[in-house]
Amino acid sequence: MKPLARYLLLALTALAALACTKTPFQQITGSYTYKTGGTLLLEAVDNPDTRITLPVRSTYGRMDIASVGEGNEVIVTLNALLGDAQVWHGRVSGEVLSLFPREFIYTGGIAGGAVTVGSFEIPYSGIDLEGTLTVSASGRLYDGRTMVLDFTCTGPVTVNGKEYRARGLDMVCSATKN
């Protein structure tokens, strides 16, 4: 084989290999199966030792991450299997996905849990809860298939007429690429 033909064949092989390589952005976009779960920590405004830990309902479903026009912005849709759909806007930077903060207004009751006063946990049978929580998330793609998102939460909450602040959200979304 002539030297020029060898170099051409080598160059074409290298170009073909590069064309098949996905960028981190392309690896993150796509369809996933997900599960969420965790807890929300509330702290009383007048006494930081009074805390309530509330369970966050586990959900399962399909998560789609789609590119939005130019750049690294995405829309993330969480379609719960037995629930509603949520649409988040976000940004991809390398292998990190960040969901922009979003407000959730909540009014309703919760069946039970425990109030922590100092080092004592006091179980309760039901509470009325209302508030506006700002939730955001960031996560990373592992092994090209597994996405783990950690959610954070802030905002005021009223529990049975008493003022609380959201102090922590221990909620994780684990997703596997379909």
Domain of residue 139, CATH code: 2.40.128
Query: How far is residue 10's CA from residue 5's CA, in Å, rounded to a whole number?
Result: 9
The number of folded domains in the chain is 1
Secondary structure element (H or E) that encloses residue 139, with its range: strand 127-142
Residue among 102, 95, 73, 87 at smallest CA distance from 147: 95
**Which residue is associated with the tokens 């690896």?**
27
Please report whether residue 18 resides in a domain. Answer: no
- Tell me, what's the pLDDT at 132? 85
- Tell me, what's the pLDDT at 125? 59
In sequence order, the 6+-apart residues with CB closer than 8 A to the CB of 69 are: none
- With 0-12 / 13-18 / 19 or more C-beta atoms within 10 angstroms meaning exposed / middle / buried, residue 111 is exposed
Question: pTM to 2 decimals?
Answer: 0.74
pLDDT per residue of the chain (178 residues) written in tens, 0 to 9:
566 666 555 555 554 444 445 565 677 889 999 998 888 888 999 998 888 887 777 788 999 999 997 788 999 999 988 878 889 999 999 889 999 998 887 776 666 665 555 445 555 556 777 888 888 999 999 988 999 999 888 889 888 888 999 887 778 899 999 9
Please report whether residue 86 resides in a domain. Answer: yes
**Which residue is associated with the tokens 């998330």?**
137
Please report whether residue 17 resides in a domain. Answer: no
Q: Give residue 83's domain range.
A: 23-177
Q: Are 147 and 177 in contact (CB under 8 A)?
A: yes
β-bridge mates for residue 3, sequence order: none
- Tell me, what's the pLDDT at 52? 83
